[in-house]
């Protein structure tokens, strides 16, 4: 396994739209393993392939405290089950150090392929539903900062650009 580099906002590669996986291969299974290792090391609870500069529709999620509930989703599709909107404080491995309140549906169903290419579906609510929606947004070139005001988004962009210049 290998830890992958996580792209940071405002990197334009985070705005690319991921392509569907035509056939699940050993390379995809290795990518899932590498993404889990990267996510746990960061530490985070979700990671989309686009965040590690792979333009394929692959997401990993684990909201457990001890890393015991890993979910890998290939070509995930979300269906809203409860239109009621709830507010959640969200952060992102690609927007390190920032948390903002975002409104999302509380309950969803996700259909996807597993690591063996087998279709499955599951219902999720609360934090798991938020995490899945957040990661699938990445696959469509969308970040959680797109849900907040332009003023806050620009402030975050400026601070991250300044931090990135200092590290370079």
Does the annotation flag 86 for ligand binding? no
- Close Cβ partners of 89 (under 8 Å, ≥ 6 residues apart): 99, 100, 101, 102
Does the annotation flag 131 for ligand binding? no
Identify the H or E element spanning 58: strand 58-61
Active site residue 135: yes
Structure tokens, 58 = 């692959």
Active-site residue, selected from the candidate residues 65, 100, 135, 161: 135
The span from the CA of 71 to the CA of 80, in Å, is 19
CB of 13 closer than 8 Å to CB of 7: yes
Does the annotation flag 28 for ligand binding? no
* Helices (runs of H) and strands (runs of E) counted in the chain: 3, 5
- Give the chain's radius of gyration (CA, Å): 15
Residue with tokens 């992102």: 92
List residues forming the annotated binding site for Fe cation: 92, 134, 138
Cite the annotated binding site by residue number: 92, 134, 138
Catalytic residues: 135
């Amino acid at each position: 396994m290998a830890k992958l580099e996580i792209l940071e906002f405002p990197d334009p590669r985070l705005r690319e739209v991921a392509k569907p996986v035509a056939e699940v291969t050993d390379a995809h299974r290795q990518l899932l393993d590498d993404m889990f290792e990267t996510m746990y090391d960061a530490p985070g609870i979700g990671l989309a392939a686009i965040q590690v500069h792979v333009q394929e529709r692959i997401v990993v999620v684990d909201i457990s405290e001890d890393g015991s509930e890993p979910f890998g989703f290939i070509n995930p599709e979300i269906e809203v089950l409860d239109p009621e909107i709830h507010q959640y404080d969200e952060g992102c491995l690609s927007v390190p150090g920032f948390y903002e309140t975002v409104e999302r549906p509380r309950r969803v169903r996700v259909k996807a392929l597993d690591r063996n290419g087998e279709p499955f579906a599951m219902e999720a609510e609360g934090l798991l539903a938020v995490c899945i929606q957040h990661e699938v947004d990445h696959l469509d070139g969308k970040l959680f900062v797109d849900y907040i005001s332009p003023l806050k988004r620009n402030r975050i962009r400026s601070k991250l650009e300044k931090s990135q210049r200092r590290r370079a």
